[in-house]
A and B are shown apart, each in its own frame.
Chain A
Amino acid sequence: MSGGPTAEVYRVDWMPGTDLLHGVCHCGAEHVTEDPVEMWQWMLAHPVGHAS
């Protein structure tokens, strides 16, 4: 499957020098956690809990 790029892009940066993950939803909301499972749960819950 290969559509073109879409507007629905999620990004997670592992912040250098730390154990922290920094996530940015396509809506612009941000989230920091140490747990990738929790990160994707937060991401997918969009828009719940994404008020910025």
Chain B
Amino acid sequence: MPAFARNQWYVAAYGHEVGRELLGRRILGEPIAFYRTEDDAAEVVALADGCVHRRYPLSQGRLDGDQLVCGYHGFTYDRTGACVYVPGQKRVPRTARVSSYPVVEQDSFVWVWIGDPALADPATIPRARHLADPGWTSVSGMEPIDCDYGLLVDNLLDLSHETYLHGGYIGTPEVAETPITTEVDEGAGIVRVSRHMDDAACPPFYARSTGIEGRITRWQDIEYHAPCLYLLHSRVAPVGVLPHPDGTDPDAFHTEITYAITPSAPGHVYDFWAVSRDFAQDDAEVTAFLRDFNHTVVMQDVDALNVLQRALDAEPSGYQELSINIDTGGLAARRILTRLAEEGAKPVEHVS
């Protein structure tokens, strides 16, 4: 499995998860405490989650205005991580500070930079605009999985598993049977996997949300922005209904399925998931159905990956895998992750 890729942006939370309660998350092995400032900017602050005094997690403390008070002996930190108060004495040791992490809030996500802060460039964060676009209605959630993040990448890059693991939900025989096209943009760090089914059964996920009866044309276009953001552009329409020559596509149902794959620690990953649709936007029943149904589907993956990781852990090291055509995209993704991990592990020269 690929190592962690540092010097990258990762989704740490949904914006709505971060407020005036402290939130603790571990990202690439680094414990981080998140909160939102009280002022009008309501900015997200991310501080290393270990008090300089006796290492108590700061996320177990409390907020006093925009300052964080350690819950053990009261060391108090400002939003930059500088300690501004210690109990019982006037002098605050000069070295008393925790690191703060670069944070960007975008497309409903809180992105955090793990690595050398001097290299953090918000312009390189991949977009998931539909998550914050009023033209789309989204349901979302997050499930921690006790598996290496590489197993989740494998899972998402090869949707042929829908036929078997999610049969009767989102899978139909045509998914596993239909050949894929794989494209890798090396410089951009993007893997694209496409599977276009011309004539397929309509799984309950789409039959019940779109109302289509009968067979469908089903397109799955994956765009994986390594290491964290996974977009699945899904297009479903009655068989034979294609986009118009001018590119408009009024007779199809579009669903954007978003995942953020954030390694938490070795053997642990955060699985952020969202389903956004451009149809029946105001239909609360469709929203409730998609939320429940997709949660069920996500849990099928979670359960399978927990089981798979335990099985792998029980194997003697150096086990062999056997890859076939369906794995072309997953193999490409692993290779890019390995390269990003190597690049992130190199010391970087600073130009000052």
Interface residues of A (CB under 8 A from B): 1-16, 19, 21, 26, 34-37, 39-40, 44
Contacts and interface: CB of A to CB of B under 8 A. Distances in A.
A33 to B, nearest CB: 10
Contacts of A39: 328
- Residue from the set A7, A9, A44 with the largest chain B CB neighbour count within 10 Å: A9
B125 A8 contact: no
B95 interface: no
Interface stretch (B24-32, B82-90, B180-188): B180-188
- Could you tell me the dominant secondary structure of chain B's interface residues? mixed
A37 B323 contact: yes
Contact of A1 (B184, B227, B323): B227
A1 B183 contact: no
Interface residues of B, number: 31
Contacts of A10: 183-184, 186, 332
Contact of A8 (B9, B124, B187): B187
A15 B179 contact: yes
A6 B125 CA distance: 16
Contacts of B182: 11-13
B185 A9 contact: yes
Contacts of B328: 12, 14, 21, 36, 39
A12 B227 CA distance: 21
A10 B185 CA distance: 7
Given A14-B181, A40-B335, A3 B323 contact: no
Contacts, number: 81
Contacts of A4: 188
A18 to B, nearest CB: 8
A36 B327 contact: yes
Given A9-B186, A36-B331, A40-B335, A2 B124 contact: yes
Contacts of B141: none
B314 interface: no
A1 B340 contact: yes
Contacts of A19: 325
Contacts of A7: 187
Contacts of B226: 1
Interface string B163-206: 00000000000000001111111111110000000000000000
A21 to B, nearest CB: 6
A6 B185 contact: yes
Contacts of A11: 181-184
A7 B325 CA distance: 25
A44 B182 CA distance: 15
A3 B335 contact: no
A5 B189 contact: no
Nearest to A24: B183
B181 A3 contact: no
Contact of B183 (A9, A37, A44): A9
B324 interface: yes
Contacts of B267: none
Interface in B296-341: 323-325, 327-328, 331-332, 335, 340
Interface in B215-257: 225-227, 229
B324 A36 contact: yes
